[in-house]
Amino acid sequence: MAAYILRRLAYFVPTLLAIYTAAFLLMHAAPGSPFGDEKGLPPEVLAVRQAEFHLDKPLWQQYVLYGWDLVTLRGHTSMRYPGRNVIHDILAPAFPVSLVLGLFALGLSVVVGTAAGVLSAARPRSAADYTAMAGAMIGISQPSFVLATVLLAVFSVALGWLPVGGWGRPSQMVLPALALAALPAAYIARLVRTGMLEVLSADFIRTARAKGLSERQVLLGHALPTAWLPVLGYLGPAAAGIFTGSFVVEKVFAIPGVGQHFVDSALHRDHPMILATVLLYAVLLVVFNLLVDIGYAWLDPRIRYE
């Protein structure tokens, strides 16, 4: 297992390099310069601005310079916010916000999704099954901005139970976490239900029942760990997505997370920012995928990594 993890860690390097390269090329494939919109800029000023962002150098030098800034975590100043370092001044303060909100939302979606999935699989075609699955359907049937706005309109504006937005108090976290958790919770509920229904007809479940175990022990102790395997596979990419924030939820609830920077950097072609956000996402993705594979071996003894 240790050898496997080490090998996977070594594999991170080429993967991240490839993702960085792809983002770099894609960024430069977009026509025009990042300063093309600023009309009437004197040529001297333009030259200084371009030199600041290595735009006067050949492509490969830009590639190496930006890459080195990111590897050493030194960062570079943002094009959009002059004088602010993309890592130290922008992402470092914003990431903990997205991380805390993401952990809350992820925990919520795992608990709610698993509970709904187990309940509906325990009594298929019952009222509980249909209620749980109908609830899950709401999560996948509306865009998140509609869901977030409706939650806001109902619970904050109409009922006045929760704050309208902002960040800092736990009560300000409830609605954004709900809006963020709806989609993953719905997916998890459906995955768990399908997995449970499949596992419940397996021989080892019949054996467990024949030994006289309670239905609760059969469902939660024997069936759930196996039925949960597909959820694990889904959670890897989902966690990377949730921890890097959601542009929509952050915008609706005025939360200072990292999600906005993913969209804004691409819209404004802020080169240092694009590369930094891409690498942040990629690092989270590969780390979570590794955690998922370790989780597989832990949940399912049949899986071994040599």
Q: Which residues are at the interface with other proteins (CB under 8 A)? A: 15, 18-19, 22-23, 26-27, 29-32, 137, 140-146, 149-150, 153, 157-158, 190, 198, 237, 244, 247-248, 262-263, 265-267, 269, 274, 277-278, 281-282, 285-286
Q: Which two tokens stand for residue 252?
A: 């609706």
Alpha-helical (H) ranges within the chain are 2-29, 43-52, 59-71, 92-122, 127-141, 144-151, 174-199, 203-210, 215-216, 224-227, 229-243, 247-253, 259-268, 271-299
Nearer to other proteins (CB atom), residue 31 or residue 40: 31
Nearer to other proteins (CB atom), residue 30 or residue 73: 30
Nearer to other proteins (CB atom), residue 66 or residue 247: 247
Q: Do residues 117 and 188 make contact, with C-beta atoms less than 8 angstroms apart?
A: yes
Number of other CB atoms surrounding residue 243 within 10 Å: 24
Nearer to other proteins (CB atom), residue 104 or residue 281: 281
Q: Which residues contact 137 (CB under 8 A, 6 or more apart)?
A: 186
Nearer to other proteins (CB atom), residue 266 or residue 294: 266
Nearer to other proteins (CB atom), residue 131 or residue 214: 131
CB 252, min distance to other proteins, A:
8
Nearer to other proteins (CB atom), residue 21 or residue 214: 21
- For residues 73 and 279, what is the distance between their CA atoms, to the nearest angstrom? 11
CB 145, min distance to other proteins, A:
5
CB 53, min distance to other proteins, A:
17
Tell me which amino acid residue 111 is.
V
Q: Which residues contact 267 (CB under 8 A, 6 or more apart)?
A: none
If you ran DSSP here, which 8-state letter would residue 164 be given?
Answer: S
CB 23, min distance to other proteins, A:
6
If you ran DSSP here, which 8-state letter would residue 85 be given?
Answer: B
If you ran DSSP here, which 8-state letter would residue 173 be given?
Answer: G
- For residues 167 and 296, what is the distance between their CA atoms, to the nearest angstrom? 35
CB 212, min distance to other proteins, A:
28
CB 1, min distance to other proteins, A:
23
CB 290, min distance to other proteins, A:
13
